[in-house]
Chains A and B, each alone.
Chain A
């Protein structure tokens, strides 16, 4: 602020003591509400956020360069570590990309297992999002309940794949292990248990007045902004556009199952606000249950993995494949030069697009609303930095 020297001493002194200035605030990388190692450099004017610049790169692991020096099958453990809350969906996307490069048909049993498991993973990922969003908004109970139910899904995954977080289960040509009747029964039990829970969570958090007041009309992303930033997934559906790759460009066996695409309606505030994105996630869990219920009884007999051989050598060429992950469209662009290692693996991650909107969303909002906005973007820094 400019200092007026022409004034008398007393007034100048007063002005100096009451001097207002913008404050540079570092949020993260250790702050719990940044959902990982995200650092946001916030310029605040009192309680108002003037500018919020996300600093990324703390979790950069050179995924794309590593992939160029690994065999096709050895890339999939790296792919698991992109979005570590939805490993199954990630590795399914990569497997589909390599399979279309190889031109092989995946056995029907494997397709059924894949879709069931990836929908379970979607529920687990949305539960995590629901839990941490509740935690950001000050509802600790929601976090506990979300994690309790996610634990049941992780138990199923531990039985089927042998690991709890980074599964490496969706392999090129099928799956790592076969599904057993015991696991099918466990999935059915989980669905019976979980079905009424979504309604309960909605009553607990979603329609709570305090939660409503903190999330509605906050962080509004309209369709124009979605298109200019290239947002996909929940962001786009929260803004009111019915776009879901599982419906519009069906891969695997999504063509055969019936489900609705939940969209934001702006019923509690503005279309595309934080609350709309939250309700879209909650409704997607119900749709995922519907998909699993349709498939779980009709898993056909047969092999769970196609014969691909130990060394995978696709013909020279390139392919771009995209799948609908819990956080948006995950794309893989592969170039093969005919050798055993990929020439180039490019990963288009939805979280990077989501986090890039943060600066525009946080112009002139309160600091507390910035937390609400980051929470509703549902970012995973493993995927932003790769």
Chain B
């Protein structure tokens, strides 16, 4: 490399670096005039759009124990136990008017296994299992992530 070539390289490096710095400063001033764009998380929260897939919730009053959600689940994290209704007991209906033939005994979801794919809430015939926008449910004990939805019974 001759000295002239060397000077050319130095010139190129300086020019392109200043070109890049110009772009950086242009954007820097634009952002400065706009004010803060970082969301200060615990104080302010971002608005989640409609249909966000957060923590699952099951309204057990509407559940007909069809187990379609447990079958389609890719990670098998939905545990359902249901007995046949005792003969002579009062007929039970969901809000949509579907007759319940089974008596739901257990409906649990291990949310630490859940992959939030949204398949279970789609196959649900009575639309009682759905994703909420809840996303803050970290716990210290892993067993507490097994959500028992029978407790939420109205």
Contacts and interface: CB of A to CB of B under 8 A. Distances in A.
Given A208-B16, A210-B17, A162 B131 contact: yes
B62 to A, nearest CB: 19
Nearest to B13: A209
Interface string B119-144: 10011000000010000000000000
Interface residues of A, number: 29
B27 A162 contact: no
B49 A168 contact: no
B12 interface: yes
B125 to A, nearest CB: 10
A205 interface: yes
* Chain B facing A: main interface SS: helix
A74 B74 contact: yes
Interface residues of B, number: 30
Interface stretch (B78-86, B91-99, B100-108, B110-118): B110-118
Contacts of B13: 209-210
A252 B75 CA distance: 30
A176 B121 CA distance: 12
Interface in B1-39: 9, 12-13, 15-17, 19-20, 23-24, 27
A163 B27 CA distance: 29
A209 B17 contact: yes
Contacts of B68: 310
B51 A166 contact: no
Looking at A76, A80, A208, the one whose CB has the most chain B CB atoms below 10 A away is: A208
B73 interface: yes
A207 to B, nearest CB: 6
B74 A70 contact: yes
Interface in A56-85: 70-71, 73-78, 80
Nearest to B11: A209
Contacts, number: 72
B51 A162 contact: yes
Given A77-B74, A208-B17, A162 B24 contact: no
B123 A77 contact: no
Contacts of A141: 20, 24
Nearest to B15: A209
Contacts of A70: 74
B9 A74 contact: no
A232 B66 CA distance: 46
B117 A168 contact: yes
Nearest to A168: B117
A203 interface: yes
Looking at B13, B24, B49, B73, the one whose CB has the most chain A CB atoms below 10 A away is: B49
Given A77-B119, A158-B49, 9 more contacts: A75-B74, A76-B117, A77-B74, A77-B117, A141-B20, A158-B52, A163-B52, A203-B19, A204-B23
9 contacts: A73-B119, A141-B24, A158-B49, A162-B49, A163-B118, A200-B23, A208-B16, A208-B20, A310-B123
Interface of B: 9, 12-13, 15-17, 19-20, 23-24, 27, 48-53, 68, 71-74, 115-119, 122-123, 131
